[in-house]
A and B are shown apart, each in its own frame.
Chain A
Amino acid sequence: MSEKIKEGKISRKNLFSNSINIFLLLLPFVILLFSMFVGRYVISPIVVIKIFLSKIIYIEPTWLPTMESVIFEVRLPRAIAAMLVGAGLSVSGASFQGLFKNPLVSPQILGVSAGAGFGAAIALLLLNKLVLVQISAFVGGIIAVAFTYKISKIYKTTPLLMLVLSGMVTAALFSALTSLIKYVADPLNKLPAIVFWLMGSFNAVSRRDILFLGPFIVIGLTILILVRWRINVLSLGEEEARSMGVNTEQLKFIIISSATIITAACVCMSGIIGWVGLVIPHVGRILVGPDHKKLIPVSLVLGASYLLIVDDIARSVISTEIPIGILTAILGAPFFAYLIRKSKSGWNY
Chain B
Amino acid sequence: MKSILQMKKGSFSYIDGTYIFQDIDFSLEKGEVLCLLGPNGTGKSTLIKCLTKILSLDKGTILYDGVHISDLSTEEIARKVGYVPQSHFSAFPYSVKDLIVMGRAPHLSLFSVPSHKDFDLVYESMETVGISHLADRPCTELSGGEQRLVLLARVLTQQPEILLLDEPTSHLDIGNQVRLLRLINNLAKTGLSIIMSSHFPDHAFISSQKVALMKEGKLVGLGSPDTTINEENLRNVYGIDVKIKAIKDGINRKICIPII
Encode A242-283 as 1/0 by CB contact (under 8 A) with B: 111111000100000000000000000000000000000000
Residues of B within 8 Å of A349, CB to CB, are 91
Instruction: List the one stretch of B81-89, B182-190, B233-241, B243-251 in contact with chain A.
Output: B81-89
A207 interface residue (CB < 8 Å to B): no
Is the beta-carbon distance between B95 and A291 smaller than 8 angstroms? yes
B198 → chain A, closest Cβ, in Å? 19
Evaluate whether A243 and B91 lie within 8 angstroms (CB atoms) in the complex, with A226-B111, A228-B113, A229-B113 already known.
no
Q: How far is the CB of B69 from chain A (nearest CB, A)?
A: 13
Whether A242 lies near B74 (C-beta < 8 A) is yes
Would A291 and B49 count as touching, CB distance under 8 A? no
Which residue of A98, A242, A244 is within 8 Å of B102 (Cβ)? A244
- Residues of B with C-beta under 8 A to A244: 78, 102-103, 105-106, 158
Interface assignment of A240: CB less than 8 Å from any CB of chain B: yes
Whether the pair B105, A240 counts as a contact (CB closer than 8 A) is no
Judge whether B130 is part of the interface by a CB distance below 8 angstroms. Answer: no
User: Does B222 count as interface, using CB distance less than 8 angstroms?
Assistant: no
- 12 extra A-B contacts, CB within 8 A, seeds A229-B113, A239-B54, A347-B93: A227-B111, A229-B108, A230-B110, A242-B74, A243-B54, A243-B83, A245-B77, A245-B79, A245-B105, A290-B93, A348-B90, A349-B91
- Can you show 29 pairs from A to B with CB atoms below 8 A apart? A102-B91, A226-B110, A226-B111, A227-B111, A228-B113, A229-B108, A229-B113, A230-B110, A232-B94, A236-B102, A240-B85, A240-B88, A241-B105, A242-B74, A243-B82, A243-B85, A244-B103, A244-B105, A244-B106, A246-B74, A247-B74, A247-B75, A251-B110, A285-B92, A289-B94, A290-B94, A345-B93, A346-B93, A348-B138
Chain B residues packing against A (C-beta within 8 Å): 49, 52-54, 73-79, 82-83, 85, 88-95, 98, 102-103, 105-106, 108, 110-114, 138, 140, 158
Q: Which residues of A contact B (CB under 8 A)?
A: 98, 101-103, 226-230, 232-233, 235-237, 239-247, 251, 285, 289-291, 293, 345-349
